[in-house]
Structure 1
Amino acid sequence: METINLGEAEGLPPVDWAAVVEKLDAGSAPRPEAHNSRTTWLCTLNEDGSPHVTAVGALWVDGAFWFQTGADTRKGRNVARDPRCSVAVSISDADVVIEGDAARVTEPGAVARLAKAWADQGWPAEPDETGSGITAPFNAPALGPPPWNVYRIEPRSATVAWAAEPGGLTRFRF
């Protein structure tokens, strides 16, 4: 892993990636009243190269972000054509942007594990009858009817703005 201290000119130390992963693994979120209260944002690339940014119910599991969407949604079409994307999320004491490639996951064991992770957080997802997608009694209306595809974003790089003392701004390349 390459670490680039973007805050060095301001005398800031590099951010500790292990501390970021610990907070992501724990599902750390800012206080509800904090300026950076939790919303996870996914950015994909439209056909003309412009960004498409949308809020998603992404999860951090096993060192990667996971999201779900319908095949005919804009983000579904975008990642099918060009898998490059980024996820931005606020955690306690930091804002994190992960860049990587979205890969559709159809392996039934992985899909079931992620459906359970969503269900454990209050969204009653479960694998569909094929085991390669998920279903639930409700979802965002724009996603269309179930089943929905599951995607994994393996981090290629990350940028972290650490707000806790002493602060820091660091880019990581994996």
Structure 2
Amino acid sequence: MTVTEPATHFDSRYSDPEATATEWPSARRALTEAPLYWLSTVRPGGRPHTTPLIGVWHEGALYFCTGAGERKNLNLEANPWCALITGRNDLAGGTDLVVEGRAERERDEDVLRRVAAAYLSKYGEDWRFSVRDNAFVHGPGVALVYAVSPTTVFGFAKGPYGQTRWSF
């Protein structure tokens, strides 16, 4: 996967006068270190579906996994556009991040092995996956792996408040 550096846009309309744009390396580090993400997809009837999950930022994309019969997978099969959100649930600090893009099923087993190693490094032994038949395997369970290469990432800094958008 080609890693692209985004164009940075600071929106002063929604920012404190003393705020500045969040640098992309800082946002990328936050995406890498985040313990939890919220995935928002669209149900076939148009209603939203949001669920928490773990994932890894790897080689310019946010990866997550799901069972074939889970609602998020069924939604993504019908409409691959989604948003992944992470941040801090307070008003006084940190930066909330929203990653928008298309979720593409990852089937390359070399990439899957690297992503599995990233899960193990980040989350420990409870999240050790093997790779077989283009999917993650954990005990008797099989998980499909998706990659979201961002089209846009929004950063909402708090303290001072500042809004940055990265376009890919």
Task: Report deviation, 1:88.
Answer: 0.4
**Is 1:70 matched up with 2:67?**
yes
Indicate the residue corresponding to 1:156 in structure 2. Answer: 151
* Inter-CA distance 133–7: structure 2 relative to 1 (3 Å threshold): same
Mapped partners of 2:111, 2:150: distance in 1: 18
Mapped partners of 2:132, 2:149: distance in 1: 27
Indicate the residue corresponding to 1:111 in structure 2. Answer: 112
SS in 2 for 1:147: strand
Indicate the residue corresponding to 1:53 in structure 2. Answer: 50
Opposite residue 96 of structure 1, the aligned amino acid is: L
Mapped partners of 1:110, 1:171: distance in 2: 28
Determine if contact 2:15/2:161 at 8 Å carries over to the other structure.
no
Task: Report deviation, 1:3.
Answer: 1.2
Percent of counterpart pairs with the same letter?
26
**Is 1:98 matched up with 2:99?**
yes
Indicate the residue corresponding to 2:137 in structure 1. Answer: 135
Opposite residue 9 of structure 2, the aligned amino acid is: T
Task: Report deviation, 1:7.
Answer: 4.5
Determine if contact 1:135/1:146 at 8 Å carries over to the other structure.
yes
Indicate the residue corresponding to 2:4 in structure 1. Answer: none
**Is 1:19 matched up with 2:22?**
no
Determine if contact 2:8/2:24 at 8 Å carries over to the other structure.
no
Mapped partners of 1:22, 1:116: distance in 2: 18
Opposite residue 148 of structure 2, the aligned amino acid is: I
* Inter-CA distance 14–8: structure 2 relative to 1 (3 Å threshold): farther
* Inter-CA distance 8–73: structure 2 relative to 1 (3 Å threshold): closer
Determine if contact 2:152/2:166 at 8 Å carries over to the other structure.
yes
SS in 1 for 2:132: coil
* TM-score where L is the length of structure 1: 0.79
Determine if contact 2:67/2:142 at 8 Å carries over to the other structure.
yes
Residue-pair matches, total: 155
Where does structure 2 lack aligned partners over 5 or more consecutive residues?
Answer: 1-6
Most deviating of 90-99 and 43-52:
90-99
Determine if contact 1:58/1:68 at 8 Å carries over to the other structure.
yes
Task: Report deviation, 1:41.
Answer: 0.3
Opposite residue 55 of structure 1, the aligned amino acid is: P
Determine if contact 1:8/1:14 at 8 Å carries over to the other structure.
no
Determine if contact 1:7/1:170 at 8 Å carries over to the other structure.
no
